[in-house]
Amino acid sequence: MLHARVCDPAGPRWWRVATTAGTLPFIALVLAPWPATASAVAMVIGVAWLAAGRLLTPRLPARACSVELEAGAIVLRNAGLVSQRIAAHDLRAASTSELPDGGYAMALVVHEEGNPILWLELASRDDLDRVRRALGIGHAGFGLLRWPPLRGVFHTNAAPLDLLASLGWLAILVAVCLGATEAALGLALPIVPLTLIALVLATTPRPAQHSLALTPWGVAAIVHGHASFVPWSAVLDAQVQGASVRVQARDGAELVPMREALPSEREHMAAQIHSSAQRARGEGPPPPAVPASLAVLAPRDEGRRAWLERIDATAATMIHAEGYRYAGVEPHDLWTVLESPDAPATLRAAAARVLARIAPEEAGKRIAATLAMEHDGDARVRIRVALEEDVDVAARELDRLDES
């Protein structure tokens, strides 16, 4: 069990759904055999919360937690409403950084692209690497981190239109509670069309005036509606400056307002940009090295069929060798490369093919677990193709992948 700190202002998915649509059952009560006024009150309470829920739900503060590691998942415990299980196959983006105070952080986007970012702070690089391995995250991370999250019914920031929608439905609620008199309804009904329009606009995705996105290729920003992009090779640094993040590039700087973000969110975004730029320059800790003994399995100046036959020959020799070792190739190294998202996809595929032959019982489960938490679609496909028994079929599929 690791000790950490989690910052998830929007909360886990169940919390976002519950706070947005949790009173939908009130609307269903309209069908109950109640007096008309009671049914109307239940319906209006439900509809009012659809509009007011996002406005009234507070952002959850950062808090301490415990992290339990599982095969292909982590569980955040002792974190109150933020306690949750995060599975590798649910991740849509991830990145790591070193914090200014000496700690380490991991940014995670779960379930859908554009969802709010969950920030996990850890005390040491060893703890960070353990979480990274449990979730199958490579040294450089993957996917897109975006602030603010994409707008939608279940993950939005409150907007002025939300307030208009809330006031409209609350006016109707007051009218019903007053006995639905003609005078009260006369005050409330004109608001209904405006309220419906407000609800549609408030829950429809639209461009943000200010946004900051970390992509695999660089930093994309929108400031006062103007979009810009800086490749990682041109990013020098990033710092928090008041309620904004200042991105320093070779040809100038961009100040991106983040007034709606928590202070810790701004600090994390700046740290992620700083660390990502370092990795792009080849600075900081290097990715895990590939064991030298596995160079024999790497593709050479040969066709894919010849490469697969050479891999099968290596596996056959290992089966008949004492302890199934051959020419310095260790099973431990094969497992390490197979399960490492930082190793080349072709070498991981070769390791999977050898292991499926020399240790079929163990390989079946571990290869399946590796594929389940693999975030690189190309690596996943190549590993599966390499497991094909028919060399000709596997070679044709690999050739097709090389050409695509």
Q: What is the pLDDT of residue 229?
A: 95
Assign 309 a pLDDT band (cuts: 50, 70, 90).
Answer: very high
The answer to whether 128 and 80 have CB atoms below 8 angstroms apart is no
Cα–Cα dist 123/104, whole Å = 6
- Using left for φ > 0, alpha for ψ between -120 and 50, and beta otherwise, residue 142 falls in beta
Domains and CATH numbers, the chain: 1-203 (2.30.29.30), 207-287 (2.30.29), 292-403 (no CATH)
Res. 157: pLDDT tops 80: no
Assign 296 a pLDDT band (cuts: 50, 70, 90).
Answer: confident
Q: What is the pLDDT of residue 177?
A: 56
**Region 348-359: what's the mean pLDDT?**
93
Assign 198 a pLDDT band (cuts: 50, 70, 90).
Answer: low
Res. 105: pLDDT tops 90: yes
Model confidence pLDDT, tens digit, residues 161-183 = 455 555 555 555 555 555 555 55
Q: What is the pLDDT of residue 60?
A: 87
Q: What is the pLDDT of residue 156?
A: 43
The answer to whether 273 and 238 have CB atoms below 8 angstroms apart is yes
Cα–Cα dist 80/62, whole Å = 11
**Region 100-123: what's the mean pLDDT?**
92
In DSSP notation, 134-203 reads HTT--TT-BS-EEESPPP-SSS----HHHHHHHHHHHHHHHHHHTT--HHHHHHHTTHHHHHHHHHHHHT
Res. 338: pLDDT tops 80: yes
Res. 235: pLDDT tops 70: yes
Neighbours of 313 (CB within 10 A): 11
Res. 225: pLDDT tops 70: yes
Backbone phi, psi, residue 87, to 5°: -95, 145
Q: What is the pLDDT of residue 287?
A: 83
